[in-house]
Structure 1
């Protein structure tokens, strides 16, 4: 693949009460939304530095989100498309097709603010000799799916999302469909409070780490796990 792939960021507007509900169970709705907003901003900063075309597949209302002005500015520098489909899997597949510009798609979410340029380049480089590249998440899901053609993402319709074995099932579905699948290093994603601490420790000077520290200092959270 001679041209740069499109990087697709699948995102949900970080609106209090709607974003990161598992995290919110510990830190509260407002703090969870601020952490999610910081995570998305940090993610967009990394992908911008790649110099690849960026597409953001968004659901929710950014006007109601935490750090709305910053997010509007960051998203405004890129092509933003609405997520479409009845299920999460169908929305992912549709986003791959909507984002594709003929040079492959590298799709991530907004829950891995510790991503680096190098690891995204690794996923893209794998498409030189493979049909897809998949990076599993520590919780059993996956954090990146890179495909040479958006048609490979159609296999997601056969995979149940948000399970402890979603990552393995996704790889099996790709292989069953005939794809040559490369592996990208495993990475943690942020679902619960414990995840936030471990990820923040990897990027101590980030917006994300600052919001995690702010939440940790709140008197209602203190020493909660």
Structure 2
């Protein structure tokens, strides 16, 4: 069975989702980030897994459901922090971030790296050119180190790294990260019953008053 790994920041104003400001205030952006994180963690909690790990920059809050092992993020760039998060795991591990509250247990229940599986890795591209999911049968940090992050070709470079290592890669459906207000509206529309969509609706209603 797979280890599910979430990498996230504590949703504090001014530290998360800064590209949502404006139109949202830092406090509102952090509130949306908290809702997205809560949606993500509860989806992971509802997905069968060998282990559930949260690699966290900051401190846990009431948004954290039971059943997670919390480990601190390492330092350095995002590639180094992702590599360190994988290093805290063993066996087939699927990494996701806190930016896709529309994710479902069905999307996370991918088979790879197990006896009889057709794939050694899985890869979920993001609409912005990055990736929302990365699964490794053997969580080797070297597969991430040096990959340029937050660039238009991040996803392409990361997938090419997997293929160059001789891994058979299963593709997951593309998802949209929440980075901008436009993203937030699109993701809320895709997951209308999520905490994220409800939080966005409340913020919109407060602004309209």
Give yes or no for TM over 0.5. Answer: yes
Instruction: Mark the runs of 5 or more structure 2 residues left unpaired by the alignment.
Output: none
**Aligned match for 2:178, one of 190, 211, 215:** 190
Tell me how far apart the structure 2 counterparts of residues 150 and 218 of structure 1 sit (CA, whole Å). 44
**Aligned match for 1:207, one of 190, 195, 200:** 195
Q: Cα distance, 1:167 vs. partner? A: 0.5
Q: Contact between 1:158 and 1:173, CA under 8 Å: does it hold in 2?
A: no
Partner of 2:135: 146
Q: Cα distance, 1:175 vs. partner? A: 1.5
> How many residue pairs get matched?
204
**Aligned match for 1:36, one of 33, 38, 62:** 33
**Aligned match for 1:58, one of 56, 59, 66:** 56
Q: Contact between 1:138 and 1:189, CA under 8 Å: does it hold in 2?
A: yes
Q: Cα distance, 1:155 vs. partner? A: 2.1
Matched, 1:95 2:85: yes
**Aligned match for 2:17, one of 12, 17, 20:** 20
Tell me how far apart the structure 1 counterparts of residues 133 and 203 of structure 2 sit (CA, whole Å). 28
Q: Contact between 1:136 and 1:167, CA under 8 Å: does it hold in 2?
A: yes
After the TM superposition, which segments of 4 or more aligned residues of structure 1 sit over 4 Å from their partners?
A: none
**Aligned match for 2:74, one of 73, 80, 84:** 84
- How big is the alpha-carbon RMSD for the aligned residues of Structure 1 and Structure 2? 1.5
Partner of 2:63: 71
Tell me how far apart the structure 1 counterparts of residues 157 and 8 of structure 2 sit (CA, whole Å). 22
Matched, 1:131 2:129: no
Q: Secondary structure at the match of 1:22?
A: helix
After superposition, the C-alpha distances for 1:140-165 in whole angstroms (9 at most, x for unaligned) are 100000010011x4221121000111
Instruction: Mark the runs of 5 or more structure 1 residues left unpaired by the alignment.
Output: 63-67
Tell me how far apart the structure 2 counterparts of residues 126 and 187 of structure 1 sit (CA, whole Å). 20
After superposition, the C-alpha distances for 1:61-92 in whole angstroms (9 at most, x for unaligned) are 34xxxxx4x225x2x53100001131111111
